[in-house]
Homo-oligomer: A and B are copies of this chain.
Amino acid sequence: MSTPGDRQRDADRTRAEILDVAMAEFARSGYAGARVDEIADLTRTTKRMIYYYFGGKEQLYIAVLEKAYSEVRAVEKTVDVDHLDPVEAIRTLAQLTFDHHDAHRDFIALVAIENVHRAEHIRKSEVLANLGAPVLDLISRILDAGHESGDFTTEADAIDVHMMISSFCFFRVANQHTFGALFGRDMTAPEHRERLRTMVGEMVVAYLKGAGR
């Protein structure tokens, strides 16, 4: 039997199912390479319904991006900057970023794809503007504390530090295939995980302590 509201819930579930499948498909094949028919075939619904719910391929793709980014924000909220000394705080943030990239491969692929398209779709979404602000604020506070305590001697910009951490974590996942082909090592294999995780932490700390000059 069915109760009132079942239809709405079913529709929401269908929407969510489409989004999940579409995310995997776009991440696997890119925007142009992904097929709407393929996405439809992998769901319990039809292509017509994808158009009914999302309007078109591009809007579906944007919806996927929004979902992926929203799942991801507020990772940095886990860093308890006030109860950690600056060195441990920045190391923790770096390793959290590492873990996060490690756990969200599809998201990484989508970001890489979106860069191929010069971020044209992200720019069409208001939901995704200024999503970076929280991390920058966190890093700024850590940097200030580190300079005050004397732990950090390098004058660094929060955006630059974020870029340094992100680049390491992102590259390891995003470029695993060509890197593996060229150097014969899968950076994402379990046996390299802990070493690289430690490395990203030591890298930022060493840089901020200022031993590079």
Q: Which B residues lie within 8 Å of A202 (CB)?
A: 154, 207, 212-213
The answer to whether A5 has its CB under 8 Å from any CB of chain B is no
Which of under 10, 10 to 19, 20 to 34, or 35 or more describes the interface residues of A? 35 or more
Are the CB atoms of B170 and A171 closer together than 8 Å?
yes
Residue from B30, B159, B167, B181 within 8 A of A119 (CB atoms) = B181
Asked if B123 and A160 sit within 8 Å, CB to CB, the answer is no
Contacts of A212 in B (CB 8 A): 201-206, 209
Copies in the complex: 2
Whether, in the assembled complex, A21 has its beta carbon less than 8 Å from a beta carbon of chain B, the answer is: no
A115 at the interface (CB under 8 A from B): yes
Contacts A167-B172, A172-B167, A181-B128 given; does A205 touch B195 at CB 8 Å: no
Whether B109 lies near A112 (C-beta < 8 A) is: no
Report whether B118 and A177 are in contact in the complex, using a CB–CB cutoff of 8 Å: yes
Q: List 17 A-B contacts (CB under 8 A).
A: A30-B32, A30-B117, A31-B33, A111-B175, A113-B116, A115-B174, A122-B181, A128-B181, A129-B181, A163-B168, A167-B167, A170-B175, A203-B207, A205-B211, A206-B206, A206-B212, A207-B207
| Bound CA–CA A30/B207 (angstroms) | 36
Determine which of B117, B168, B210 lies in contact with A164 in the assembled complex, contact meaning CB atoms within 8 Å: B168
**Residue in B closest to A135 when the chains form the complex, CB atoms:** B183
